Structure 1
Amino acid sequence: MPVPSTVSDLISRWERERPDVEALRFEGSSWTWQQLAQRVRRAAAALRANGIGPGDRIAVLDLNHPSCLELTLACARIGAANAIVNFRLAPPEIVYVINDAKAKILFVGPEFTAAAAQIRDKLPCVERVLRIGGDADEYEPLLTAHDPDIAVHPARPDDCFVQLYTSGTTGFPKGAMLTHRGILAHSANVATDFVLGDDDAVQVAMPLFHVGGTSYALVAIHVGARMVMLRTPDPVAVLDMVERERITHTFLVPALLAAITQVPGVDQRDFSALRALSYGASPMPLPVMRACLTLFPGRLHQVYGMTEAAGVVSSLGPADHENPAAEHRLVSAGTPIHGVEIEIRDPATGEPVSTGAPGEIWVRTQQLMSGYWGKPEATAETITPDGWLRSGDGGYLDADGYVYVTDRIKDMIISGGENIYPAEIERVFAEHPSVADVAVIGVPDDHWGEVPMAVVVAAPGASIDENALLAYGREHLASFKCPRAVAVVDELPRNPTGKVLKKELRKPYWAGRDRTIV
């Protein structure tokens, strides 16, 4: 079978080989590969008829819906790109993303119609706003009005067809241009490592504006697996779908898994079809991991990745999760997946560091984005001339090649000349029975420059004894790493992928100072 050179080749293959096999299921509807291919061609025709051509962008602002995936595939056929908007952003950020992408058409789900109307006059590039779903749906009539377009733009491997925006924990988000080459490489590499084939059923639960949504769906398309899409990742709905649809592969974030472990009767559910439960995008507290190991034995895959690399770059498989002799590896991100190289470099010099020494995680793979949309300087700062991606994550490699992610380089605390990685402290405090959630930040100190502070959320039914918690830290950590204070909050601010927004936590402590940490 010829190796596909574009994403459009994948749909054509399954339409030819498995026309009547179910490709996608969403709520009460389902589509075969032939039906999906025809809908994508109609969407391509509709976009062309509305003036969308090679190099243009559209945008989708919606919860998960098959139309978003169809529009992404349609863009791949005509040489355009779908800039999928993070619907959890604040209105000014949504305006920024749509304008940054220079999107000509904005597709909007029913939950966001009013919000889109309020910002409409701030979107000078948008020529048309179209509603998806609901009583005023304009998407299905748009498809019906156009015959399937059989023409395919002669895409090059490095052409962008989907533009996903980074989480923007510092500054405004940047549009990572994901390409045919990068997505095909990621899909093949992940399918190999996670043993995913055309007889499998893949749950698409994460938002499509994230690689855990769109890239994961494209992995399923790569192998011809059946996709079952969830509009929103509600814990009970996730479990119901896994049972009802006999899901074999899914990807969930730790915050969602923590909620799943608390669903009444979860231990009585039938997970016999499930073979691979991947989790990532943020660290999993060890108490949650232990609960998941009990619920999902032999199925857990921790993944580490980034938007700029189309998704996953390393994985810790079930054997490492359940090896008593290597329990320390539970806090690692595993080893590089197929087709990925990982090195640790000195963030200042770019030179490799010795085994076990901390530095910045660098990644080289065919999966990489072509760059940040409209930001050549940021692209040059991130991707080296010889093809290495500077992740911005701090970490180290052990002697066996396992990757340990410590923190974002910018989150590292430098106290009296000592480098302190908050994740080390967070792992200790997360084990305390009174703590449900924790983040460690650097706060100003007149003597040391900055010192660690623990920001904690109390466990249900518990209260935080700050002095006792600090004493617990001193028992388990080197003295220079111990937080000097504890702040108790109702919840930690997080972005849609579950990453704590430490910039927001630091802001009040550094306000008005000549030196600030962002």
Structure 2
Amino acid sequence: MTAQLSDYTTTLARWEAERPQAPAITFEGTTRTWAELAQRVRRAAAALRAAGVRPGDRIAVLDLNHPSCVELTLACAQIGATNAVVNFRLAPPEIVYVINDAGARLLFVGPEFAGAAQQLRDKIPTVEQVVHIGGDGDEYEAWLAAQEPDAEVHPAESGDCFVQLYTSGTTGFPKGAMLTHGGMLAHARNVMVDFELTDEGRVQVAMPLFHVGGTSYALLAIAAGAQIRMLRLPDPVAVVEMLERDRITHTFLVPALLAAIVQVPGIAERDFSALQALSYGASPMPLPVLRACLKLFPGVMHQVYGMTEACGVVSSLGPEDHGDPAVAHRLVSAGTPTHGVEIEIRDPATGEPVPTGEPGEIWVRTDQLMGGYWGKPEATAAAITEDGWLRSGDGGHIDADGYIYVTDRIKDMIISGGENIYPAEIERVLAEHPTVGDVAVIGVPDDRWGEVPKAVVVAAPGQTVDPEALIAFARENLAGFKAPKSVDVVDELPRNPTGKILKKDLRKPFWEGRDRQVV
């Protein structure tokens, strides 16, 4: 990566000039070179301009993973517009909200969502044109072919937004994080240093492009000049086959997917020797799954902690810490800050730094930060301080060796008899019990202590949960005040479209009519 690359249009042009015939992106058997990708991006830029899209405008993509989303993001970068990538797992009213919030002028829709888009058409008044991508009704290729490549480049500033990803929003509606050229390129530079990604890399993009684990990972590969190998859906068998067949060097996967991957028949006989970095994050990794992964993927596991508002990764726990029994306690940490990132623990009430080892809110300062939340200056001011610190909303602490431990969302913390209890700590212990398949811990009212922990669990396949035995197991592994005082067994846990457990829904029945506000 060279210093003069200040925007993604310049970045793409670099690889087109230096490696025109090298493969840039492969999807479902079709490979496009850097020269071909650059020409397609210029045609998309011409088509967007022909449709009236101007600097500052938004378009939206509602689709499973497809190279067209990356092409449109790069075309927006070229003309000064922004691609708002819609979470396809959202409910129809939420999809309407995101498209209208962005004020998208064009909507690009995959075949799986064509019917839904038609039904919602009269509810998204800013959309002037719908373009269908893929399938029998594909319009995208003809839309591109109708234009000659447009070489005109809007003069981009480092702080210009070109891709907008929406936070999952466990309360209220999602917020559009405005991700900029400067932020995305800073993220790419920092990750390339820590994960040793070069233009010889082969990067698997398996996670959805509406998430930083998809779009930021794809843009990381483009910044590095590495090949992208994209999957339409993160199917565990397809992920495994691509890792082996395509000799993937770098990938990012979430723990739920890894839990399925370790169960793929014949997984132990696969050849993953090309793999240099397998990053995982976005939710806690159950230790049994992690142990299985360490056997399958020795020497390459990186736990990463990040957020949409920081364009992706801000800390990592590298392979050396995963493989050293002397520091096994670090397996539940988020590692240390990545290159170019500062992390401090602050008192969430006062904003003052807390002593080493003491809990507080995780604050992050880096050039990777978003430009703000689209159309929400008050939310932006609440999240980013005047001196450039992002308040993550996550609780945690840093130990004497500088390792970061993410305990929970600040709002999920349980205060019982004056003691701060972080549910994630309890959940990690309960997940070790063989009868537990899924678990969430919440605070419920208690006349003596104010609130106490309750575990809500889903039984593992073929298992029956004994609440008293589970509480006893917790007491063996946790301080008594942290152990859950009760256990509810349910068929499934409520989750939002990105898979995060909706603890507010679990808490609500217990706090109805009480003074405490449930959020």
TM-score range, shorter chain: over 0.9
Query: What does residue 373 of structure 1 align with?
Result: 374
Structure 1 vs Structure 2 CA RMSD = 1.0
Indicate the SS of the match to 1:212.
Answer: helix
1:254 and 1:498 in contact (8 A); partners too: no
2:218 is the counterpart of 1:217 = yes
Corresponding position: 1:317 with 2:318:
yes
What's the secondary structure of 1:71's corresponding residue?
helix
Shift in Å, 1:500: 1.9
* Range 245-254 or range 468-477, more displaced: 468-477
AA in 2 matched with 1:139: Y
Q: Is 1:253–1:498's contact at 8 Å kept on the other side of the alignment?
A: no
Aligned partner of 2:92: which letter? P
Is 1:192–2:185 an aligned residue pair?
Answer: no
Higher mean C-alpha deviation, range 455-464 or range 391-400: 455-464
Equivalent in the alignment of 1:513: 514
Query: How far did 1:128 drift?
Result: 1.2
Post-superposition shift, 1:496? Answer: 4.6
- 1:65-111 CA-to-partner distances (Å, cap 9, x unmatched) read 00001000000000000000000011111111111111111111000
Which residue matches 2:503? 502
Q: Return the letter of the residue paired with 1:56.
A: D
User: Is the contact made by 1:493 and 1:501 (CA closer than 8 Å) also made in structure 2?
Assistant: yes
Whole-angstrom CA distance in 2 between matches of 1:498 and 1:318: 26
Aligned-residue offset at 1:498: 3.7
Q: Which residue of 1 aligns with 2:444?
A: 443
**CA offsets, 1:306-360, max 9 Å, x none?**
0000000000000000111100000000000000000000000000000000000
CA distance in 1, matches of 2:463, 2:131: 48
Secondary structure, aligned partner of 2:24: strand
Contact 2:54 2:81 in 1 (8 A): yes
Q: Specify the alignment match of 2:82 in structure 1.
A: 81
Q: Distance in 2 between matches of 1:273 and 1:19?
A: 24
- Find the counterpart in structure 1 of residue 270 from structure 2: 269
Instruction: State the partner residue of 1:203.
Output: 204
1:281 touches 1:499 (CA, 8 Å); kept in 2?
Answer: no
Unaligned runs of 5+ in 2: none
Q: Give the TM-score of the pair, scaled to structure 1.
A: 0.99
Q: Is the contact between residue 105 and residue 129 of structure 2 (CA under 8 Å) also seen in structure 1?
A: yes
CA shift, 1:445, in A, is 2.3
The residue type paired with residue 511 of structure 1 is: E
Q: Supply the AA of the counterpart residue of 2:36.
A: Q
> Mean Cα displacement is larger for which, 94-103 or 493-502?
493-502
- What is the Cα deviation at residue 494 of structure 1? 2.9
Distance 2:205 2:14 in 1: 21
Tell me the equivalent position of 2:426.
425
Aligned-partner residue type, residue 92 of structure 1: P
* Percent of paired sites with the same residue: 76
CA distance in 2, matches of 1:259, 1:491: 17
Partner of 1:471: 472
Structure 1 partner of 2:96:
95
Find the counterpart in structure 2 of residue 245 from structure 1.
246
The answer as to whether partners of 2:89 and 2:498 remain within 8 angstroms in 1 is no
Check conservation: 1:282, 1:497, Cα contact below 8 A: no
Aligned to 2:32: 31
Taking the aligned partners of 1:459 and 1:72, their CA distance within structure 2 comes to: 41
Partner of 2:166: 165
Partner of 2:48: 47
Q: Distance in 1 between matches of 2:448 and 2:316?
A: 41
Matched, 1:108 2:135: no
Matched, 1:63 2:64: yes
1:120 shift after superposition: 1.2
Q: Is there any run of 5+ residues in structure 1 with no aligned partner, and where?
A: none
Moved over 4 A (4+): none
AA partner of residue 389 (structure 2): W
Deviation, structure 1 residue 513: 3.4
Q: Distance in 2 between matches of 1:115 and 1:442?
A: 38
8 Å CA contact retained: 1:406, 1:422:
yes
- The 1-side partners of 2:200 and 2:379 are apart by 41
Partners of 1:96 and 1:81 lie apart in 2 by: 17
SS of 2:60's partner is strand
For residues 403-414 of structure 1, the aligned pairs below 5 Å read: 403-414=404-415
Query: Does 157-166 or 466-475 show the bigger shift?
Result: 466-475
Distance in 1, matches of 2:109 and 2:43, equals 19
CA distance in 1, matches of 2:211, 2:518: 27
Structure 1 residues 473 and 2 mapped into 2: Cα distance closer, same or farther (>3 Å)?
closer
* SS in structure 2 of the partner of residue 176 of structure 1: strand
CA deviation vs aligned residue, 1:145-198 (integer Å, no higher than 9, x gap): 000000000011000000000011121110000000000000010011000011
Which SS does the other structure have where 1:353 is aligned? Answer: coil
The alpha-carbon deviation at position 449 of structure 1 amounts to: 2.4
Matches of 2:116 and 2:511, distance apart in 1:
33
Give the alignment of 1:113-152 within 5 angstroms.
Answer: 113-152=114-153
Q: Give the paired residue count.
A: 518
Report the AA paired with residue 369 of structure 1: M
